[in-house]
Amino acid sequence: MRRTEYLKILHKHLKHLDDNERQDIINEYDTHFYSGMEEGKTEDQISEELGDPQQLAKQLNANASIEKAEQSNNISDVSHAVVSVMGLSLLNFFVILIPFIIILSIVLSLIVTTLSFIFTPIALLVKAVMVGFQEIMLLEVYTTGVLFSLGLILFVITYLITKGFYILCVKYLKWNIKVVKGSATR
């Protein structure tokens, strides 16, 4: 593949990068072509050594997504990084998706449970307004207090688990990219 065609394909598939980063990457790979040609290699040999430009762009996009997720602490950035890493290979799709969905469902159920415990006093208040305060039993007040207290404790635990899930996700994605790169070079 010719240098211009290789760089054009690489540029086309570099997504979610700002123009400066994209241009730096293109310049770096253009330098690889010039260095290789100085060593007497043809453009086809150099492009074969560099690998498929689409797969290279996928890896660069995944790395950029993971770095962005690591710096921003935003759940949408993590989900974007997960999608980018899943796109590296079909097997990778299942290796990433299944654990991510399982852990995400556990975290989401914990969040829902925590919120329902915290909002039990409001539910009791609504019941009291609808049926009358004299109809509220002492056991309901006691149960509401216990659930609210558990909700506050779970809030702290949920926060720590969610933060840990985020960090674990980013580390797992980084590890996965290293494994994919390692298997690609063998």
- The verdict on 13 and 100 lying in the same domain is no
- The verdict on 46 and 91 lying in the same domain is no
In a domain, 3, yes or no: yes
Q: What is the pLDDT of residues 82-94, one digit of tens each?
A: 777 777 766 667 7
Question: Does 105 or 64 have the greater pLDDT score?
Answer: 105
Confidence label for 182 from pLDDT (cuts 50, 70 and 90): low
Percent of the chain whose predicted confidence (pLDDT) is above 90: 27
In a domain, 65, yes or no: no
| Whole-number pLDDT of residue 62 | 81
Q: What is the pLDDT of residues 27-70, one digit of tens each?
A: 888 888 888 888 888 888 888 888 888 888 888 888 888 888 77
- The verdict on 47 and 134 lying in the same domain is no
- The verdict on 77 and 42 lying in the same domain is no
**What average pLDDT does the structure give for the chain?**
84
Nearest to residue 64, comparing CAs of 52, 76, 80? 80
> Rounded to whole angstroms, how far apart are CA atoms 140 and 29?
69
Range of the domain at 143: 73-185
Which range, of 25-34, 90-99, 123-132, averages the lowest pLDDT? 90-99
Over residues 124-148, the mean pLDDT reads 92
The total number of structural domains in the chain stands at 2
In a domain, 159, yes or no: yes
In a domain, 66, yes or no: no
In a domain, 63, yes or no: no
Tokens of 43: 């453009």
In a domain, 124, yes or no: yes
Which range, of 9-13, 83-87, 107-111, 153-157, averages the lowest pLDDT? 83-87
